[in-house]
Amino acid sequence: MRLAVIADTHGNMEAFRSVLADIDAAAVDRIVSLGDNIGYGAESEQVMALIRERGIPSVLGNHELAVKSPRFYRWFNPQVRSTLKTIFSGLSERTVTEIRGMEPSRVQWGCRFVHGFPPRSPVLYLHQMSERKIRRAFDRIDETRCFIGHTHDLALVCVTGDAAALLPFTRGTFALGADRKYLVNVGAVGQPRDGDNRAKYVIWDSALSSVEVRFVRYDIETAARKILDAGYPENFAARLGYPIRL
């Protein structure tokens, strides 16, 4: 099976449509979202509607968590908190109901899917975790392949015995050893923070035991302009990697 894994679309319809077009051309069987479909971008409701239309299952991201449990707004800084409240107030009742039904993790096809860190956290970041904590996380789950997002950056961590090693991981295809455990951070569709502003996602090929990292160009200028036209903070648009000219 070929499975596309996406994360952190963040209301960026230009990036999302371009990634879906790339997925459709790549002979993929299924798509899974690791959450944070909403927030930052100008079209959170539209992204959720397209996820619904395409039948894409999604786990709970930290932005969805703020919709599901408003006390988690305090997790964000004041500027972000205020803007996210405005963004989320524009979500339809149907979308809010769907978000409230999201689970923090999903196990399917022999893999685990979680937004932040296994087994179920939507808020912990991979870069916060020590080697020991990464090894212990795999002691708590049965799966040997775990896909995560949240950092908006690509990362591949291999766990063997008492060691957890960060491996090179960029555009291309990477074979995963059958006797090893892996954390795969799939990058971000809507707001990469790795110095390359192209949208990122991965394709997991279970037959080949490989992960392919895909980079996708999209209309960044339009996405940034929509953020500014919506009255959201300029830095939300600047994070897309487009020079903002007011």
The answer to whether position 92 is within a domain reads yes
| Rounded-to-integer distance, Cα 204 and Cα 25, Å | 15
Task: Please indicate, yes or no, if residue 246 is contained in any of the structural domains.
Answer: no
pTM, full prediction: 0.96
User: The domain that contains 18 carries what CATH number?
Assistant: 3.60.21.10
Indicate whether 106 belongs to any domain: yes
Closest C-alpha among 19, 110, 14, 93 to residue 56? 19
For residue 243, tell me if it sits in a domain: no
Quick one: average pLDDT of 89-109? 97
Query: Can you say whether residue 165 is alpha, beta or left, with left for phi > 0 and alpha for psi between -120 and 50 degrees?
Result: beta
Residue 224, pLDDT score: 96
201 pLDDT exceeds 80? yes
* 196, part of any domain: yes
Query: What's the mean per-residue pLDDT of the chain?
Result: 95
pLDDT value of position 133: 95
Q: What is the pLDDT of residues 109-149, one digit of tens each?
A: 999 999 999 999 999 999 999 999 999 999 999 999 999 99
Region 138-163: mean pLDDT is 95
Q: Let me know if residue 25 belongs to a domain.
A: yes
> pLDDT band for position 245 (50/70/90)?
low
Residue 30 lies in a domain: yes
The reply to whether 109 falls in a domain is yes
Per-residue pLDDT reduced to its tens digit, 39-82: 999 999 999 999 999 999 999 999 999 999 989 888 898 888 99
Bridge-based pairing state of the strands 105-108 and 111-114: antiparallel
At residue 242, the pLDDT reads 73
What length is written for the chain? Answer: 246
Q: Under 8 Å CB-to-CB from 70, ≥6 apart: which residues? A: none
Categorize the per-residue pLDDT at 17 as very low, low, confident or very high, splitting at 50, 70 and 90: very high
Structure tokens at 221: 């200028």
Looking at the structure of the chain, the number of domains it has is 1
Outline where DSSP puts E strands in the chain.
2-6, 30-33, 105-108, 111-114, 145-148, 154-160, 163-167, 172-175, 181-186, 199-205, 210-216
pLDDT value for 246: 45
